[in-house]
Structure 1
Amino acid sequence: MSEQNGLLVVTTEHIPGQEYEVIGEVFGLTTQSKNVVKNIGAGLKNIVGGEIKAYTELLSEARDIAISRLRENAAAMGADAVVMMRFDSDSISQDMETVAAYGTAVKFK
């Protein structure tokens, strides 16, 4: 459960103690890329194995941006919360990732 700027985002279908009406689908989307220097470092790490921290940071940053945009879009719809929030991601190229956060915008009764 995450709350920022008064807009609750949960991965569950129900919010304990709340009744709400569904407003509709809401999403936040971002595409991120790391710079060439970090890509070279990641390529070297690929040879020896282990965590590629540059890409972990890339996905973490993309996830945070996607959730922030999800909240902005839900607030613009007049929502009080987002339920059933999920993530989807895909590689566009070797050094670019797109991340979508999506869920159902709801208004408390």
Structure 2
Amino acid sequence: MADINEYGGGQSPNADVLVVTTNDIPGFRVDHVIGEVFGLTVRSRHIGSQIGAGLKSLIGGELRGLTKTLVESRNEAMQRLVEQTKARGGNAVLMMRFDVTEAADAGTEVCAYGTAAVISPIG
């Protein structure tokens, strides 16, 4: 079985900035909305993985090399999103989303975006 971090991602439980896909966070209040933040990365495709993907597509199955590249890209975009949030004084990102597009046949663009905010525990 593959390492969970090899084909997935997400935050560690003790992250400095809490990133959620929801509007609110149970047990916390939003003290201040900072505004939109994003993290962006564009990755070119490795020629070896492209050839392997082309051959694999003939017989079917997961394109593991491309999957790993996309995981790395998403994690890098998330890291940049968190850095932007911290630089602007936030400790949370609400409504985080990913957007993935092809970048002029040169690679894949991955953008993580959301609303930076300052939150504090209720009570």
Which TM-score applies when normalising by structure 1? 0.90
Question: Percent identical across equivalent pairs?
Answer: 46
Q: Which runs of 5+ in 2 are unaligned?
A: 1-9
- Aligned counterpart for 1:91 among listed residues 83, 102, 111: 102
Two-structure CA RMSD over aligned residues (Å): 1.7
Distance in 2 of aligned mates of 1:38 and 1:87: 23
Distance in 1 of aligned mates of 2:54 and 2:106: 11
User: How many residues get paired?
Assistant: 109
Distance in 2 of aligned mates of 1:12 and 1:108: 14
In the alignment, what sits opposite 1:15? 25
Give 3-state SS (helix, strand or coil) of 2:28's partner: coil
Hey, which bits of structure 1, 4+ residues long, moved more than 6 A? Answer: none
In the alignment, what sits opposite 1:67? 78
Q: Does 1:50 align with 2:70?
A: no
Verify the 8 A CA contact 1:34 1:54 in the aligned structure 2. Answer: no
Moved more, 37-46 or 90-99: 90-99
Task: Provide Cα deviations, 1:33-92, integer angstroms capped at 9, x if missing partner.
Answer: 231111111111111111111111111111000000000000000001001000000012
Which TM-score applies when normalising by structure 2? 0.81
Give 3-state SS (helix, strand or coil) of 1:19's partner: strand
Distance in 2 of aligned mates of 1:55 and 1:84: 27
Which structure carries more strand by proportion? 1
Residue type of the partner of 2:74?
A: R
Q: Does 1:24 align with 2:35?
A: yes
Q: Which runs of 5+ in 1 are unaligned?
A: none
Give 3-state SS (helix, strand or coil) of 2:43's partner: strand
